[in-house]
Amino acid sequence: MRGVGDVAQANKNTVWARLVQIILMIIFLLLGFGLIGACAAYLAYGTLFRLLGKYYFYKYRGIGDNLKKVKGNPSRYEIEEMFHIVWHNAWRDGAISLCNYCCNQVSTLICSAYLSLADTGIYSIGVQIASAIATIAGNLYNTYQPELQAAYVVEDKDKMCKTMSMIVVSFIYLFILGTIGFCIVGVPLLKLVKPSAVVSIPVLVGLCLYQFILKYRNCYTSYFSCTNRIIYVGAFTVSAVLCVVFSFIAIGPFNMGVWGLIIAQIISQALYNLWKWPLLAHKELNLSLKKMFQMGNYETLALMRRFIK
């Protein structure tokens, strides 16, 4: 649905599916189903999300009716040819997903294996909060990828620069505001709702810094993926391996605890990915940082005005 431009409906599908998941999870937990109830609610989310996506995709501008008009079955040669075309980047996307898992989730497993239950709890809560802030701040980055692709197809470099500027600048502002806002308002509210929750603000800020680096990096790698170039798979793989190795070293021989994990993750990305892809993207687009912030501020304010109207 994002590919055909119906981004709004795609986001609505996510909201409705998540709402059903939350309601079912509450009901199942109250009925005493425990972890099985949470898993069933998550399954319901995935199923409903797919059904809504399929339903609205086929309704969008008569896509379903037009597909029904297509006659004939593809030959085996055509299927194989299409598979080879898709496979060129599909395996790279799969490798990137594995790398992102190593960079985001493996540290929690290492933490639970080496540290105390209290430290693991502090770290896990921090990871969830920082990831949520990063996801919310990166919404425009996800939403405007089709527009970036469309600008690339028609070779509209000015539009590409404007879109990239808005994506990066809005992400930076939203992430900073989200982090400060949660530290000032969110932490007291969380303790009010769940007094047993232990949140360390320094650890949370450290994890937010790491999540910022990951999403900031992704803002630029999305530019390359939108131009059908997943040239960063090798660098992501090396960084993922370094992230795991550095984490084991920091938490094992050096006994640095939670901060060892945070520092190890930041170093693994700062060595290359943090600067390489922004530098390359800015060079290709002939876009300076000063110009990016000027264009990004203007485009973001224009978007906010349209939203308010």
**Using one digit for the tens of pLDDT, what is the confidence trace for 288-308?**
999 999 999 998 888 888 878
In the DSSP assignment, the letter for residue 288 is: -
Q: Does the pLDDT at position 263 exceed 80? A: yes
Q: For all residues of the chain together, what is the average pLDDT?
A: 89
Note the pLDDT of residue 8: 77
Q: What mean pLDDT comes out for the span 80-93? A: 89
Using N-to-C axis directions, what is the helix angle for 157-181 and 145-153, rounded to 10°?
170
Of the candidates 65, 21, 15, the one whose C-alpha atom is nearest the C-alpha of residue 46 is 21
Cβ atoms of 230 and 224 within 8 Å: the answer is yes
State the Cα–Cα distance between residues 8 and 240, nearest whole angstrom: 33
Q: What is the pLDDT of residues 7-56, one digit of tens each?
A: 778 888 988 998 999 899 889 988 988 889 989 999 999 999 999 999 99
- Quote the longest CA-to-CA distance of the chain: 66
Nearest to 271 by CA among 242, 248, 230, 232: 242
Kindly tell me if the per-residue pLDDT of 240 is higher than 90: yes
pLDDT range class, residue 2, cuts 50, 70, 90:
confident
Give pLDDT, residue 172.
95
Please check the confidence at residue 309 and state whether its pLDDT lies above 90: no
pLDDT category of residue 112 using cuts at 50, 70 and 90: confident
What is the pLDDT, as a whole number, of residue 170?
A: 92
Distance, CA of 247 to CA of 83 (rounded, Å): 38
pLDDT of residue 138: 86
> Quick one: tokens of 281?
């993207």
Residue 70: other Cβ atoms inside 10 A: 7
- Residue 128, number of CB atoms within 10 A of its CB: 12
Q: Are 124 and 111 in contact (CB under 8 A)?
A: yes
How many other CB atoms are there within 10 angstroms of residue 153's CB atom?
A: 11
Tens-place pLDDT, residues 153-177: 888 999 999 999 999 999 999 999 9
b/e sequence 206-233, b meaning 16+ C-beta within 10 Å: bbbebbbbbbbbbbbbbbbbbbeebebb
